[in-house]
Structure 1
Amino acid sequence: MTTTTRRKVGIAGAIVGAASAGVAGLALAKRYAVGRIRLRPDPEASEPFGELGGAEHTFTTSDGVDLHVRLDGPQDAPLTVVLCHGYCLNLESWHYQWRALREHHRLVLWDQRSHGRSLRAPADDCTIDRLGDDLGELLDAFVPGPCVLVGHSMGGMTIMALADRRPELFGERIKGVSLLATSAGKLAELTLGLPALFARMVQKVAPGTVSILGKGGTLVDRTRHAGNDIGFLVTRFFGFGDSRNVSPTLVDFAESMIRATPTEVFANFYPALMNHDKLSALDVLDPVPTAILVGDKDWLTPPEHSRSMAEALPKAQFTEVPDTSHLIQLERPAVVNRALRDLIKQVEG
């Protein structure tokens, strides 16, 4: 080996060594950061997340997809509350509302298609309109009388799609609606808090990137499961407005639901969320008591989206919750539960 060759090999080795040391250093820093967070006092450490039970049912939609459904509360209650979860979550995300309402109200909770324990749907059938059809069919099968619909994030969009496709249900059977951290459209314009130039770059490359991730979903999922500390930090940062004080157990619970959602499902629904536009369907909700809630630090469905809905529904009760982000029903359960109880009282009148 010549002197020149040895020098090149040495330089290459130094570069690889430095890069490896950098990666190892970042991994160590990440582990240290997560470890410090987990050592903090955790008031939710004994909370029985995922253990509330309820009667399990399987419902097959008109296009042949089996949905996982739970029924709880007194089955002879005069009012049913239907809880519709968000993107990359499942019915367990309603833990605090489920626990608070189950004593006096009949509850219907369900995993939206391809989420939780419901079966996967083909990519072409992963649309907001199809979710609206699923909800309508679910009401026909499991809700014998009047009901209140509650939707978080994509679940709120599901309710809007139902209003667009079956407006006759609102006022007749659907007596109240609550929309949490959701949007009537224009999600493709999200900035995620980035400066305008970077936001435009992200908006431009995001659809193609998500499509590529979806095609390599199995490999990506293995990487996601290996990197749950990163998932913990990302969920803590984006999901919770007061991230410094949020319970590590609660972050783990939320992150586990997101991580359990296959990357292919994330990719299949992404175009539907970006193309969602149901502002005109809000007119259907106007005669129905409606509560709109959003966190003031929500980067995924920013407050201005909820304000736009409130402007379209001037009779709605609008609440912007301080120091709160996208997972509002988990981060501020007392606020959300109080709003839902007030809505139910208004409906029962």
Structure 2
Amino acid sequence: MGLTARIAGAVAGAAGIAATGAAVGVAQRRRTIARRSGDQAPFGSLHSPAHTVITDDGVPLHVEVDEAPDAESPVTVVFVHGYSLNLDCWHFQRAAFRGLVRTVFYDQRSHGRSGRGPVTGGTIDQLGRDLKGVLDAVVPDGPVVLVGHSMGGMTIVALAELHPELFAPDGKVVGVALIATTAGGLDPARLLLPLVPRRLSSGITDSTLRTLARGHRAVDGVRRLGRSIATVVTDAYAFGDAVPQSYVEFVDDMLSATPFQVVAEFFPGMRELDKFDHVGVLGMIPTTIIGGTADKLTSIGHSRKLHSRIPGSTLVECEGAGHMVILERHGQVNACLDQLLAAASAGSGAR
């Protein structure tokens, strides 16, 4: 069967599910999500004037800096988001630290408001080079704390491999937080579950993904058509506990806004990631590793392995939390970042 026929079949299948009794379970699940109470914060509303940073291969990155002129600490905190998300995912962290410390947020290449990179640029190593470019452009001097979630944590690890001197006791980076992430051994097919219609992700391989990417507009159409199902899948795979409906819809909006072609470009790099031998350099500075025990995408075992490979690191396991622990346990995550910033500021002040 050709690609067009398979996609057409998937579209028909999605439409059929939405129109038949098979949707009853999905509808009931969505009503359960909708009944949850919680913080109805205006997600996506926290922004500052944009900067544009051009990468070494010419991709314009969207960067925002929250200045804190009265901050007691000279440290700048740079937040690096994950796969198929954008800088808005740091909503609770941005709200918590705004005005207290200088913070930097940016959209990774081909994500959010940043420009699309070439297919060959969809690698973790390139993301590490992009991060170096952001640091050079908006934090040319002074100490930096790096905070990465999921693919953002992998980006920081790539930077550590490419530029270990930045993480030395007298280097620019004075602290790191690695959240719901890994340095290798990842099954990237699990990351696709909230991103690809189930009928299209069954038994997926790199070659199949490349084929689907060529028909990415049709795949994106399937994703939109199956939005109710996608919301339920996002709830199941992004979170561990029952979170407010607004959290689920916020994450689903970010995932849905990421073109499938971008999803496909980064897939091989996830599978090939193998950098555990390069994380030891992070042991020279305060490093905090945070993971949810119910994370279905980057399981807590990845956090534990990072902890075992980074001397002196702090491991925080958020009981029952899923992959989007930065939302689900934002209070606990922010408290950990407070402690990291205190340790990093003390260390940088002692230089």
Q: Normalization by structure 1: what TM-score?
A: 0.87
1:151 and 2:145 aligned: no
Deviation at 1:134, TM superposition (A): 0.4
Q: Which has the higher mean CA deviation after the structures are superposed, 56-65 or 262-271?
A: 56-65
Partner in structure 2 of residue 5 of structure 1: none
Deviations 1:168-199 (A, max 9, x none): 1113100000000001101138779xxxxxxx
Residue aligning to 1:160:
157
CA contact (8 A) 2:213 2:260 kept: yes
Letter in structure 2 aligned against 1:274:
R
Sort the Cα spacing of 1:127 and 1:76 in 2 relative to 1 into closer, same or farther, 3 A. Answer: farther
Equivalent residue in structure 2 for 1:140, among 101, 119, 136: 136
Report the alpha carbon displacement of residue 346 of structure 1 after superposing the two structures with TM.
0.5
Distance 1:282 1:20 in 2: 48
Give the letter for the 1:173 counterpart: K
Tell whether 2:118 aligns with 1:122. yes
- Identical aligned pairs, as a percentage? 43
Aligned mates of 2:202, 2:28 — CA distance in 1: 33
1:305 is displaced (CA, Å) by 1.1
Distance change in 2, residues 1:249/1:168 (3 Å): same
What SS does the aligned partner of 1:149 have?
strand
Where does residue 343 of structure 2 map in the other structure? 346
Contact 2:144 2:175 in 1 (8 A): yes
Cα deviation, residue 36, structure 1: 4.1
Which residue does the alignment assign to 1:64?
Answer: 58
Bigger radius of gyration: 1
Report matched runs for 1:1-349 at 5 Å. Answer: 24-38=20-34, 40-45=35-40, 47-75=41-69, 77=71, 78-143=74-139, 144-171=141-168, 172-188=171-187, 205-242=204-241, 245-349=242-346
d(CA) in 2 for partners of 1:306 and 1:70? Answer: 29
Kindly tell me: are residues 310 and 203 of structure 1, through their superposed partners in 2, closer, same or farther at Cα, counting changes over 3 Å?
Answer: farther
Residue equivalent to 1:14: none
In 2 relative to 1, CA 22–327 (structure 1 residues): closer, same or farther, beyond 3 Å? closer
Distance 1:214 1:23, change over 3 A: same
Provide structure 2 residue ranges, at least 5 long, that are not aligned to the other structure. Answer: 1-14, 192-200, 347-351
The letter of the residue matching 2:249 is D
Contact 1:177–1:289 under 8 Å retained in 2: yes
Amino acid at match of 1:232: T
| Structure 1 gap segments, 5+ residues each | 1-18, 193-201
Q: Is the Cα–Cα contact under 8 Å of residues 52 and 60 in structure 2 kept in the other structure?
A: yes
Provide the C-alpha distance between the structure 2 equivalents of 1:189 and 1:55, rounded to a whole number of angstroms.
Answer: 34
Per-residue Cα deviation, 1:265-286 (whole angstroms, up to 9, x for no partner): 0000010011111111112211
- Over aligned residue pairs, what C-alpha RMSD do you find? 2.2
Query: 1:236 aligns to what SS in structure 2?
Result: helix
CA distance in 2, matches of 1:191, 1:101: 32
Letter in 1 for 2:37: D
Please say if residues 148 and 155 of structure 2, whose CA atoms lie closer than 8 Å, have aligned partners that are also in contact: yes
Check 1:278–1:21 CA distance in 2 against 1; reply closer, same or farther (3 A cut): closer
Deviation at 1:233, TM superposition (A): 0.3
Work out the CA distance in 1 between the residues paired with 2:88 and 2:164: 28
Report how many residues are paired. Answer: 320
TM-score, normalised via structure 2 length: 0.86
Dislocated runs of 4+, deviation >2 Å: 19-23, 27-33, 188-192, 202-213
The 2-side partners of 1:153 and 1:236 are apart by 17
Tell which deviates more after alignment, 94-103 or 181-190: 181-190
Whole-Å separation in 2 of the counterparts to 1:27 and 1:214:
28
Report if the CA contact (8 A) 2:77-2:102 is conserved.
yes
